[in-house]
């Protein structure tokens, strides 16, 4: 991100968050639970969606990564809720109420995985550029 864009970012985005802050908080053990972690992660994506044009790679990557984070968050909170209700279980109920083995719960189509990997790589490159500029200023 060039200096001009960085100033625009500061003017547009009210609550700043980036992956460097999240990494530091994880390493410090600052998060008391997954809810706080996901809150910060979703804020990164929200900020990218607000700042970058819809046609940009960064915006498209943020959309995909936000969806991934929301899906993972839902799985974690659903699992926590199930464990509270029923205790540890090795099988879950599928969409029709049928019992489903855990290995079947995480099947993902190959094409979706490729698209998500591309988005993650693209987002990672953008975040690295932002972090490099932030480090140069300090």
Coil, helix or strand at residue 87: coil
- Categorise residue 29: left if φ over 0, alpha if ψ from -120 to 50, beta otherwise: left
* Cβ atoms < 10 Å from Cβ of 7: 11
Question: Which of 132, 130, 122, 119 is closest to 16 using CA atoms?
Answer: 130
- Model confidence pTM above 0.75: no
Question: Which of 74, 73, 70, 57 is closest to 120 using CA atoms?
Answer: 57
Instruction: List pLDDT tens digits, range 40-85.
Output: 999 999 999 999 999 999 999 999 999 999 999 888 888 777 777 7
Q: Which domains does the chain have, with CATH numbers?
A: 3-89+106-137 (1.20.920.10)
């Amino acid at each position: 991100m060039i200096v001009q864009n960085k100033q625009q970012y500061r003017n547009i985005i009210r609550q700043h968050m980036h992956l460097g802050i999240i990494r530091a908080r994880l390493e410090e053990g600052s998060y008391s639970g997954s809810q706080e972690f996901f809150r910060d992660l979703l804020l990164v994506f929200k900020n990218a969606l607000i700042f970058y044009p819809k046609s940009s790679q960064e915006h498209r990557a943020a959309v995909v990564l936000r969806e991934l984070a929301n899906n993972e968050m839902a799985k974690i909170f659903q699992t926590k809720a199930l464990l509270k209700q029923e205790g540890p279980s090795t099988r879950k109920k599928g969409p029709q109420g049928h019992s489903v083995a855990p290995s079947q719960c995480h099947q993902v189509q190959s094409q979706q995985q490729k698209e998500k990997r591309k988005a993650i790589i693209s987002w990672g490159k953008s975040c690295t550029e932002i972090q490099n500029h932030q480090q140069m200023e300090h």
